[in-house]
Structures are given as structure tokens and as C-alpha cells.
Amino acid sequence: MAILKLENGQTLRNVHDISQELAPLNIQLNRWSLGDNLELHHLLAQDSLNEAEKEQVLQTLDHYFEELQQSAGYQSRDLVVLHPGIPNIDELMAKFDQIHTHADDEVRYVIDGEAVFGFVRPDGSQVELTVQPEEYINVPAGTEHWFYLTSAKRIKAVRYFISTAGWIPEYTGREIRSRQTLLI
């Protein structure tokens, strides 16, 4: 279940309340079921996956990709798998842990683990949203945001692309004022 922490320290756990808080940013947050495919759940329980296993996971979940292709013109998808055993994971993630924008939407379907998306709202306030398994998030192009892994340093997420050209971060230079300290 998504958790939104407001800058004033208030924490929201109700999806409707979270959606209202994020509405000025046009962020889409949905819940997509993984279903009960035992082979899929077995693969998701593993720390790392080889390319064939990643493709198997993607194909199992492609009904969501097909919907996005038809409704929004998405052209490709991939699966990112991060876990504590990856060498230099902190250095790898550092480029996302600064406030930035993209020329294209940033779209993730979290299927294992969790991570935090931070956002700068139109009034300048900042919020942080913890996304967890079975949560789909679409961060519109041009939205000031940052991203980091929780202390578990574990996530598997399907990324959906209209074009990969927009995935280059454009750093804004704005400072992140606070970090989540939620115990999840």
C-alpha cells in the first residue's frame, strides 16, 4: 500500500487521499494485481534474474503493457532488478537521488520491493511517496522529482517507455529538504 509523507510530517495511507494530494502534479497511481501465477511469484522471490527470467516475468505481465500500448502509445518495456548484492548500488542510484525532470513520462510498475519517489508540488512543498508491490505510477514529463531505494535496497519494477530519449535527467539544482524516516 502506497504511503505519502507530507512535508509537515503528516502521513497518508489511503489511496484516495494520496491521489488528491498528488492531483496538482497529474501523477497517476494505480494498483495492478500480480495474480496468482506460482512461477511468477517464484521468480520475484529471487534476488537476481537472468535475461531469460526477466523476459518470462515481462511476458507474464504483458497484458498491462498491451493496455498501455493501446491507450497511451507505449512502445517498449523492460524490467529493472536491484538488490543489496549489486556492486556499488549506492553509486548507481545516486544520479536519481537529486531533484530532476525528464522530457518524457517516468512510468513504473513495482512488482517486488519498494522505493520512494519524492515530488516538488506547484506551491514548492515537497512530498515523498513510498511505492510497493502491485503499484503502478506515472510521473508526467517535466515533474520535479527524485527517486531512491528504501533501506531494504530491493526493487523489481517494470519500466514502460514511449521513447527512451526522454529518460535523461535534467537536474534542477533544487535541494531536497527532508527524507522519509518511515518504518514500513
| Chain centroid, CA 88 distance in Å | 20
Which SS3 state, helix, strand or coil, does residue 16 take? helix
Instruction: Assign 166 a pLDDT band (cuts: 50, 70, 90).
Output: low
What total of structural domains would you count in the chain? 1
Mean pLDDT of 157-175: 88
Task: Give the residue among 125, 165, 163 at the shortest CA–CA distance from 144.
Answer: 125
Pick 95 or 46 by higher pLDDT: 46
Residue 49 has pLDDT above 60, yes or no: yes
- Specify if 158 maps to a domain: yes
The pLDDT confidence band at residue 179, using thresholds 50, 70 and 90, is confident
Q: Annotated binding residue at 106?
A: yes
Q: Could you give the percent of the chain with pLDDT greater than 70?
A: 96
| Residue 43 domain-assigned (yes or no) | yes
Angle at the Cα of 5 from the Cα atoms of 47 and 158, rounded to 5 degrees: 35
Let me know if residue 171 belongs to a domain. no
Residue 99 located in a structural domain: yes
Asked whether residue 180 is assigned to any structural domain, the reply reads: no
pTM of the model: 0.93
Burial of 93 (0-12, 13-18, 19+ CB in 10 A): middle
Is residue 175 situated within a structural domain?
no
Range of the domain at 95: 3-166
108 assigned to some structural domain: yes
- Would you say 128 is a known binding-site residue? no
**Has residue 114 been placed in a domain?**
yes
Work out whether strand 115-120 and strand 145-149 pair parallel, antiparallel, or are unpaired: antiparallel
Q: What is the pLDDT of residue 182?
A: 41
102 marked as part of a ligand binding site: yes
Residue 180 has pLDDT above 70, yes or no: no
Write the CATH number for 28.
2.60.120.10
For range 11-34, the mean pLDDT: 96
Asked if residues 79 and 58 have their Cβ atoms less than 8 Å apart, the reply is: yes
